A and B are shown apart, each in its own frame.
Chain A
Amino acid sequence: DAKTTQPPSMDCAEGRAANLPCNHSTISGNEYVYWYRQIHSQGPQYIIHGLKNNETNEMASLIITEDRKSSTLILPHATLRDTAVYYCIVRVGDMRFGAGTRLTVKP
């Protein structure tokens, strides 16, 4: 599975959009980009995934660059409950976690 690089931490104001970047420059053609988040002392929660097209669901939007070497997870209106560690994972097989980005949503 390709390696991902994410900033260790980010802050976002409540009500504003949170844009979380992820670099995956070694991604191969059949690898999907997955995003999970983990709120303190809980199991990871699935957010969204995509292959090459942009995706949107009730939680977030996923923007994947045309060359697929990077992606951005967008939480359109962040709330305090969105404070969590966000993991970007590129996979075909097993789900392996990197360090993730600790997002803190501030009032």
Chain B
Amino acid sequence: GAVVSQHPSWVICKSGTSVKIECRSLDFQATTMFWYRQFPKQSLMLMATSNEGSKATYEQGVEKDKFLINHASLTLSTLTVTSAHPEDSSFYICSAKTRMDEQYFGPGTRLTVT
């Protein structure tokens, strides 16, 4: 299957700082990328959908000014958590959809805000 990578795999940052997470489709072009968040012992929650070259569509309750998404190319999307706080600590997972409508997930990024 296709491969999706995320960087970094884990990050610790101080409260009030911003963190950028990258999501790359390594061997295919992704028309659409998705960002999910997963808290301990819970399921994945869709945060936003991004299409290359256009603004992301955010799910209800997700602050677009706090979670900045940029999808500048068909192989790269970034999620920036701005002014992070401890409650933003979570497991962030991206996925990418192929032209054949297959969806592949990255390995996730664990964010800890101290």
The chain A residues found within 8 Å of chain B, CB to CB, are 36, 38, 41-46, 87, 94-100
B61 at the binding interface (Cβ < 8 Å): no
Given A43-B6, A43-B107, 9 more A-B residue pairs with CB atoms under 8 Å apart are A41-B110, A43-B95, A43-B108, A46-B1, A94-B49, A95-B34, A95-B103, A96-B46, A97-B46
Q: What A residues does B36 contact at CB under 8 A?
A: 97
Q: What A residues does B105 contact at CB under 8 A?
A: 36, 43-46
The chain B residues found within 8 Å of chain A, CB to CB, are 1, 4, 6, 34, 36, 43-46, 49, 91, 93, 95, 102-108, 110
Known contacts A43-B93, A44-B93; A97/B43 CB under 8 A: yes
Total number of residue pairs linking A and B with CB closer than 8 Å: 42
- Min CB–CB distance B18 → chain A (angstroms): 23
Q: What B residues does A95 contact at CB under 8 A?
A: 34, 46, 95, 103
Question: In the docked arrangement, what's the CA distance between A87 and B106, Å?
Answer: 16
Question: In the docked arrangement, what's the CA distance between A99 and B49, Å?
Answer: 21
- Min CB–CB distance B17 → chain A (angstroms): 24
17 CB contacts below 8 A, A to B, read A36-B105, A41-B91, A41-B110, A42-B107, A43-B6, A43-B105, A43-B108, A44-B93, A44-B95, A46-B103, A87-B43, A94-B34, A94-B46, A95-B46, A97-B43, A97-B44, A99-B43
Q: What B residues does A44 contact at CB under 8 A?
A: 44, 93, 95, 105
Q: What A residues does B6 contact at CB under 8 A?
A: 43
Q: What A residues does B102 contact at CB under 8 A?
A: 46
- Min CB–CB distance B84 → chain A (angstroms): 20
Q: What B residues does A36 contact at CB under 8 A?
A: 105
Question: In the docked arrangement, what's the CA distance between A94 and B110, Å?
Answer: 23
Question: In the docked arrangement, what's the CA distance between A39 and B105, Å?
Answer: 13
Nearest chain B residue, comparing its CB with the CB of A32: B101
